[in-house]
Amino acid sequence: MKSITQELEYGCGVACFAFVCNMSFKDAITFLGREYSVHTGWRPSDLTAELNRFGLSYKNCYVRKRSEYDFPLGSIVLIEKSANYPVGHYLTLTSKGWMDPWINLPQTKDILKAKSGFRKELPGKAMYALVPISS
């Protein structure tokens, strides 16, 4: 299981989409059909629709408190805005922990130096969850 590094500033949602769909970041951008500008990203509802269009079964949930929700593996979570994550940040829950598509943010703010990896805890408070629906 290899983490996916986001290649665009607002590309954490795309990287998480790529991870759960088992494709590259570039293939995810192609599938999703649009590039990112420096001021846009994907809303949770839009990503959920795209995951379902890909053939997976996901639902979008607003999460008030992390303790209220037991995230299943494959969940994509958007954490709230904070000093370290001024626009929020998407991460994916895996058997290795949370796949973070820009794990060295905020240490580096340069997208060309972004690295991905796995962390044990969410680096912020969960706000939305894209949750796989078991059949």
The model's pLDDT over 45-87, given as tens digits with 9 standing for 90+, comes to: 999 999 999 999 999 999 866 555 689 999 999 999 999 898 8
* Helix intervals (H) in the chain: 12-21, 25-32, 44-54
Cβ neighbours of residue 70 closer than 8 Å, sequence gap 6 or more: none
pTM: 0.91
Query: Residue 60: what are its φ and ψ, rounded to 5°?
Result: -105, 130
Which domain does 117 fall in, by range? 12-132
| Residue 43 belongs to a domain | yes
| Residue 6 belongs to a domain | no
- CA-CA distances (angstroms) from residue 25 to 65, 68, 106, 123? 30, 31, 21, 22
The model's pLDDT over 88-104, given as tens digits with 9 standing for 90+, comes to: 999 999 999 999 999 99
| Residue 33 belongs to a domain | yes
User: Higher model confidence: residue 41 or residue 120?
Assistant: 120
The strand pair at 117-119 and 97-100 is best described as antiparallel
Total of domains in the chain: 1
User: Higher model confidence: residue 15 or residue 8?
Assistant: 15
Q: Could you tell me the CATH number of the domain that includes residue 58?
A: 3.90.70
**Pairwise CA distance, residues 57 & 38, whole Å:** 29
